[in-house]
């Protein structure tokens, strides 16, 4: 099944409103007529209004990096999914490994956030991935399956059809150490196989699974050439137009 390539830039805690607007201007100039690949960026919350405004009608999507699992309430410092939607985002990253590692997110909270995002008409980009010691113990697939089980618990195929998944091995994030195309493809295939046991074939066949973890212009083409790698979730290399654009090009060539 042909899946449209999807490249997402995760700016993490970088680029305040002014700098984000500057990068958005460059993205708009470079990508406004891009037809064959979906591109989104995930700025920090405070930069979302500038980026949404700048990228309006360009076809480039804007995602939040997180949202709360409840629609409103006494949760000081948090931002809800309806607020993210109202600010003009159409997507939201859920369960990024940095959220799991530093902010105590669990498979259970990830499940709540996916539901909150779907209720707010946002597309969740759900992140899974194993730590280095897990891979070295030969348990990478089992742990990712467990994360999927928790994240997708109780959700049906209509929900899955509205999600994107991202496989991001923790040991490859921000380390310069990328999974080899074979390692990444093996995991993406394992994820699709696991999903096939639980969801209808059409929904699983249409689902996009992105790879993330030290994706650069140098390794993007080989990763994106793998049949089950449908795009990239890019951190560091998404902060500069010179490094982000070649990754989008590599995805375009794949399509």
Catalytic residue among 50, 105, 145, 168: 168
With binding defined as CB under 6 A, does residue 235 bind ligand PGA? yes
Beta carbon nearer to ligand PGA, 95 or 213: 213
Beta carbon nearer to ligand PGA, 71 or 174: 174
3-state secondary structure the chain: CCCCCEEEEECCCCCCHHHHHHHHHHHHHHHCCCCCCEEEEECCHHHHHHHHHHHCCCCCEEEECCCECCCCCCCCCCCEHHHHHHCCCCEEEECCHHHHHHCCCCHHHHHHHHHHHHHCCCEEEEEECCCHHHHHCCCHHHHHHHHHHHHCCCCCHHHHCCCEEEECCHHHCCCCCCCCHHHHHHHHHHHHHHHHCCCCHHHHHHCCEEEECCCCCCCHHHHHCCCCCCEEEECHHHCCHHHHHHHHHHHHHHC
Given 173, 184, 195, 248, the residue binding ligand PGA (CB under 6 A):
173
Beta carbon nearer to ligand PGA, 11 or 199: 11
68 is catalytic: no
With binding defined as CB under 6 A, does residue 168 bind ligand PGA? yes
Segment interacting with ligand PGA (CB under 6 A) among 23-31, 145-153, 187-195, 228-236: 228-236
With binding defined as CB under 6 A, does residue 210 bind ligand PGA? no
96 is catalytic: yes
Least Cβ distance, residue 224 to ligand PGA (angstroms): 14
Given 7, 126, 148, 215, the residue binding ligand PGA (CB under 6 A):
215
Given 212, 219, 230, 251, the residue binding ligand PGA (CB under 6 A):
212
Beta carbon nearer to ligand PGA, 7 or 134: 7
């Amino acid at each position: 099944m042909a899946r449209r390539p999807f490249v997402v830039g995760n700016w993490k805690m970088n680029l305040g409103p002014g700098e984000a607007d500057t990068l958005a201007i460059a993205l708009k100039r470079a990508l406004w007529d891009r037809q064959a690949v979906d591109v989104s960026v995930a700025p920090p919350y405070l930069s979302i209004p500038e980026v949404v405004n700048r990228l309006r009608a360009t076809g480039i999507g804007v995602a939040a990096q997180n949202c709360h699992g409840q629609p409103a309430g006494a949760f000081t410092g948090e931002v809800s999914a309806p607020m993210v939607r109202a600010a003009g985002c159409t997507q939201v990253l859920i369960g990024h490994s940095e959220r799991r590692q530093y902010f105590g997110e669990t498979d259970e909270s990830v499940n709540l956030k996916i539901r909150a995002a779907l209720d707010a008409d946002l597309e969740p980009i759900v992140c899974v991935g194993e730590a280095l010691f897990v891979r070295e113990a030969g348990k990478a697939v089992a742990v990712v399956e467990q994360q999927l089980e928790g994240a997708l618990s109780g959700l049906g195929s209509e929900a899955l059809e509205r999600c994107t998944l991202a496989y991001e091995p923790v040991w490859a994030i921000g380390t310069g150490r990328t999974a080899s195309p074979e390692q990444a493809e093996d995991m993406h295939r394992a994820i699709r196989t696991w999903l096939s046991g639980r969801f209808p074939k059409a929904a699983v066949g249409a689902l996009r699974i992105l790879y993330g973890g030290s994706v650069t212009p140098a390794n993007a083409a080989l990763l994106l050439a793998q049949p089950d790698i449908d795009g990239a979730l890019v951190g560091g290399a998404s902060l500069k137009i010179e490094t982000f654009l070649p990754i989008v090009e590599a995805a375009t060539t794949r399509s």
